[in-house]
Amino acid sequence: MIINRLTVDGKDYFLPDPVTELKNEILAAIKAGGGYVNIPPLKSGGSGLDILFSPGMPVTWTRLDVGGAEADDSAAAAAQDFDLDV
């Protein structure tokens, strides 16, 4: 099972796959000069957390294999459908 760790300004948020749509929402908010993006909870049933993303804010993604089903850990799989052209 793959869990994605999103680190924003030194704070960690853990998310299940897929995160492609969320990555694109964050990128769009940054490209627009800043904006709020809802980070969903790890388990369903919560409302998540709204985070204000802005240009220059440190954002890091890490894919963590926590066991269970086999997963592809390649860099290509991690960046699939994610446009880094800012």
- Report pLDDT digits (tens) over 39-67: 988 777 778 899 999 999 999 999 998 88
CB 30 within 8 A of CB 8: no
pTM above 0.85, yes or no: no
Neighbouring-strand partners of residue 7: 12, 60
Whether 17 maps to a domain, the answer reads: yes
> What's the pLDDT at 17?
85
Total domains in the fold of the chain: 1
User: Is a pLDDT exceeding 60 seen at residue 34?
Assistant: yes
- Furthest CA-CA distance within the chain: 39
> What's the pLDDT at 45?
77
Could you tell me the residue range of the domain that residue 63 belongs to?
A: 2-67
Q: Which of these, 47, 77, 45, lies nearest to 61 by C-alpha position?
A: 77
Q: Which of these, 83, 81, 61, 63, lies nearest to 72 by C-alpha position?
A: 63
Angle at CA 49, nearest 5°, toward 44 and 54? 135
CB 53 within 8 A of CB 26: yes
User: Is a pLDDT exceeding 90 seen at residue 31?
Assistant: yes
User: Is a pLDDT exceeding 80 seen at residue 74?
Assistant: no
Whether 57 maps to a domain, the answer reads: yes
Whether 83 maps to a domain, the answer reads: no
> What's the pLDDT at 2?
86
> What's the pLDDT at 42?
76
> What's the pLDDT at 44?
76
